[in-house]
């Protein structure tokens, strides 16, 4: 009799656990990779490392993924641009966590696409973060501006500038490069009155020969450049502000874990990862800065 009572008491707990496990299994997480290159293998490993043990992860490639066969209670996690372009077409009601993509690129991809519940663990830095990092480089009243060079067509950068807090906008000088103009030829006069150049995500300005010549000119005029990726520091910028692969993966894992535990996204929009700031000591000394005394302002 005692054994039967124990069984009856234990039975609801057993059934609850079974149904709970079934519920978890019924909502898999699809990690959709843009490619099968070693970089995506590394990213997959990093994301898996941060996931809770109960996450039913399925890893697929964008070429093989068939969104129409996925239940609406599944979570879709496209990694990279190619996967994002495919998943953006999904209108099955799935929650989506975009990962390892630039905010500007994703914003362009989502324009005119089906509305989704989405978040994005993006690779770039918010403009405010770059400006706050660069602001301590202002050392006198003569050179008291931070220069931002953007192409006329870069509406995304303009919007970010407009959204800056007023205490930062007053330090900003904007140089707009119209179509057909060469940024390196327009920027000379600005170097006399700026304390630093803040690079923003704009391939018309910060790629190829254009980026090389602006970095060269800035160095000649003794003006530091603050870049938004680690490659800037290696190319001649004095400071690089960036989020590492592991930190972006950690953010992605955290968003997935939250969805698993709450059955919903924690919000809508872009999520910026923790970041790090690297100083090119050679450039700093050449520009009369002491690397160990450069004040870095974090969020």
Q: What pLDDT does 126 receive? A: 94
Query: Average pLDDT in the 11-21 region?
Result: 43
Domain that holds residue 9: 2-123+246-267
Check whether 14 has a pLDDT greater than 90: no
Q: Is the dihedral of CA 92, 97, 101, 104 positive or negative?
A: positive
Query: Average pLDDT in the 145-168 region?
Result: 93
Q: What pLDDT does 90 receive? A: 86
Q: What pLDDT does 15 receive? A: 41
Q: What pLDDT does 68 receive? A: 61
Q: Who's near 2: CB < 8 A, 6+ residues apart? A: none
Q: What pLDDT does 188 receive? A: 87
**Is 298 inside any structural domain?**
no
Query: Average pLDDT in the 139-150 region?
Result: 88
CATH number at residue 159: 3.40.50.2300
CA distance 155 to 184: 21
**Is 253 inside any structural domain?**
yes
- Claim to verify: residue 251 and residue 201 sit in the same structural domain: no
Query: Average pLDDT in the 18-44 region?
Result: 78
**Is 183 inside any structural domain?**
yes
In the chain, the number of structural domains is 2
Residue 136 CB: number of other CB atoms within 10 A? 13
Q: What pLDDT does 92 receive? A: 81
79-99 residue pLDDT tens: 999 999 999 988 888 999 999
Q: What pLDDT does 24 receive? A: 44
**Is 299 inside any structural domain?**
no
User: Which is nearest to 248 in space by CA: 117, 98, 129, 34?
Assistant: 98
CA distance 230 to 217: 20
With 0-12 / 13-18 / 19 or more C-beta atoms within 10 angstroms meaning exposed / middle / buried, residue 164 is middle
Check whether 292 has a pLDDT greater than 60: yes
Q: Report the percentage of the chain scoring pLDDT > 90.
A: 72
CA distance 152 to 122: 24
- Claim to verify: residue 260 and residue 211 sit in the same structural domain: no
- Claim to verify: residue 67 and residue 213 sit in the same structural domain: no
Check whether 256 has a pLDDT greater than 80: yes
Check whether 129 has a pLDDT greater than 90: yes
Q: What pLDDT does 241 receive? A: 95
- Torsion of the alpha carbons at 208, 150, 273 and 113, rounded to the nearest 10: -100
Label residue 66 by pLDDT band (50, 70, 90).
confident
Check whether 71 has a pLDDT greater than 70: yes
CATH number at residue 18: 3.40.50.720
- The tokens for 273 are 């990862």
Q: What pLDDT does 140 receive? A: 78
- Claim to verify: residue 90 and residue 136 sit in the same structural domain: no
130 alpha-carbon distance from chain centroid: 13
CA distance 193 to 173: 10
DSSP label of 8: H
- Claim to verify: residue 174 and residue 288 sit in the same structural domain: yes
- In the chain, beta strands by DSSP E: 29-33, 57-61, 75-79, 95-101, 117-122, 145-151, 172-177, 194-198, 225-227, 239-242, 269-272, 276-279
Contact 79, 40 (CB under 8 A): yes
- Claim to verify: residue 236 and residue 250 sit in the same structural domain: no
Average pLDDT, rounded, for the chain: 88
Phi, psi of 19 (to 5 degrees): -70, -35
Q: What pLDDT does 19 receive? A: 41
Phi, psi of 249 (to 5 degrees): -65, -40
Label residue 293 by pLDDT band (50, 70, 90).
low
Beta-bridged to residue 278, according to DSSP, are: 240
Q: Which of 76-80, 133-137, 154-158 has the highest mean pLDDT?
A: 76-80
Q: What pLDDT does 139 receive? A: 80
194-251 residue pLDDT tens: 999 999 999 999 999 999 999 999 999 999 999 999 999 889 999 999 999 999 999 9
């Amino acid at each position: 009799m005692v054994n039967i009572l124990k069984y009856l008491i234990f039975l609801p707990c057993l059934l609850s656990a079974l149904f709970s496990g079934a519920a978890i299994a019924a909502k898999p997480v699809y990690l959709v990779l843009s490619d099968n290159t070693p970089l995506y293998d590394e990213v997959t490993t990093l994301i898996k490392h941060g996931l809770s043990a109960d996450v039913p992860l399925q890893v697929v490639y964008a070429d093989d993924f068939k969104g129409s066969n996925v239940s609406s209670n599944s979570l879709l996690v496209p990694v990279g641009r190619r996967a994002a372009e495919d998943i953006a077409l999904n209108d099955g009601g799935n929650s989506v966590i975009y990962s390892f993509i630039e905010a500007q690129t994703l914003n362009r991809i989502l324009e005119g696409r089906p509305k989704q519940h989405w978040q994005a663990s993006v690779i770039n830095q918010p403009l405010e973060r770059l400006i706050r990092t660069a602001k301590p480089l202002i050392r006198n009243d003569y050179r008291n501006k931070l220069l931002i060079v953007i192409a006329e067509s870069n509406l995304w950068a303009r919007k970010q500038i407009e959204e800056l807090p007023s205490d930062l906008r007053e330090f900003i000088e904007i140089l707009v490069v119209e179509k057909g103009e060469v940024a390196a030829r327009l920027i000379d006069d600005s170097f006399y009155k700026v304390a630093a150049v803040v690079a923003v995500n704009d391939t018309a300005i910060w790629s190829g020969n254009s980026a090389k010549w602006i970095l060269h000119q800035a160095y000649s005029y003794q003006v530091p450049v603050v870049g938004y990726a680690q490659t800037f520091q290696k190319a001649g910028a004095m400071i690089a502000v960036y989020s590492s692969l592991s930190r972006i993966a950690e953010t992605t894992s955290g968003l997935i874990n939250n969805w698993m535990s709450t059955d919903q996204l924690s919000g809508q929009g872009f999520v910026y990862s923790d970041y790090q700031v690297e100083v090119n000591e050679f450039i700093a000394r050449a520009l009369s800065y002491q690397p160990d005394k450069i004040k870095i302002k974090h969020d």
